[in-house]
Amino acid sequence: MTISNNKGKESGKMTYVVSDSKKNGSSITATINSEFVDAKGKSITKATNNVKCENGVMQMDMKTFIPPAQTEQMKAGEAKASDVYLEYPANMNVGDQLKDGQFNMDYESSGLKSSIEISITERKVEGKESVTTPAGTWECYKISAKNKIVSKIAGIGFPIKMDVVEWFAPGFGIVKTESKSGKTEITSIK
């Protein structure tokens, strides 16, 4: 996925690789390895997360939504968090309210106790649209949400709030997101 700022200038790329998938009855779990590289091609962060599909509901590990800048701060330290998943039901319809997601992680880096809280609320299926990116065309659900990220370092909080729109292709995942700060979109599939 290519990440661009609000002026359309590329700020980096996020590459996702499925390294493992397991089926157990009606459930499938996949391990996703990701790497964020900046606009100059320098590797900034790497992470491993999970995606699950249970009874037609796709569930994304909320650690996936941690901004690369915060992930960069965490990599030298020790982090503790439980697994929390954001749901994308297969049978969604225009007008549906989707479940909110709330994720908290505590970490210590360079002796400083820090935390990050991510809230994704007021998720609503706004419509159905055909979305074309450099990687192809998908029939997507357009989902709006309010995202709030609070990063606390040594007890001092830095909140970021933004309205986000994402385009979700059933059976595939998120192909595009937009907010006032910029956008991401799939630009290639290998």
138-190 pLDDT per residue, tens: 999 999 999 999 888 877 888 889 999 999 999 889 999 999 989 999 999 98
Domain that holds residue 131: 2-185
CATH of residue 47's domain is: 2.40.360.20
Residues ≥6 apart with Cβ < 8 Å to 180: 6, 162, 163
pLDDT at position 178 is 95
In a domain, 190, yes or no: no
Average pLDDT of the chain? 87
State the residue for tokens 């037609």: 56
8-65 pLDDT per residue, tens: 899 999 999 998 899 988 889 999 888 889 999 999 888 888 899 988 899 988 888 8
Over pLDDT 90: what percentage of the chain? 47
The number of distinct structural domains making up the chain is 1
Residues ≥6 apart with Cβ < 8 Å to 122: 97, 100, 144, 145, 146
Contact 50, 32 (CB under 8 A): yes
Sign of CA dihedral 67, 69, 70, 76: positive
∠ Cα 151 49 25 (to 5°)? 135
